[in-house]
Amino acid sequence: MQKLAATMNHAAKLVSVERDKLVELLVLKDKQLEKLAEMVRQNDSMLQSEVARMNTQRQQYHENVSKLNARIRELKNGDKY
C-alpha cells in the first residue's frame, strides 16, 4: 500500500511539474502575443499615416495638373493672364 501511495505521489508530482511548465509557457506566449499585437498596431498606424500623406500629395498633384491644364487652355485661346 505504501508503495502504491509513493507511486501515486510521484505521478502527482510529475503532473504538477508538467502543469507548472505549461503555465510558464502560456505566460511567455501571452507576453509575446501582446508585444506582437502592439507591433501590429504601430505598423497599422504608420501605414495609415503614410496613406494619408500619399493621398494629400496625390490631391495636390491633381490640383496642380488642373491649374496647368487651365493655363494651357488660356494660352491656346490667346489670353496672356
Q: How many helices (H) and strands (E) does the chain have?
A: 1, 0
| pLDDT digit string, tens, across residues 46-56 | 999 999 999 99
46 φψ region: left (φ > 0), alpha (ψ -120 to 50), beta (else)? alpha
Arithmetic mean of pLDDT, 42-49: 98
* pTM, two decimal places: 0.61
Domain boundaries, the chain: 1-81
In whole angstroms, give the CA distance from residue 18 to residue 10.
12
Sequence-distant (6+) residues with CB within 8 A of 74 are 81
Residue 37 is placed in which grid cell? 499585437
Between 39 and 2, whose confidence is greater?
A: 39
DSSP letter string over 5-23? HHHHHHHHHHHHHHHHHHH
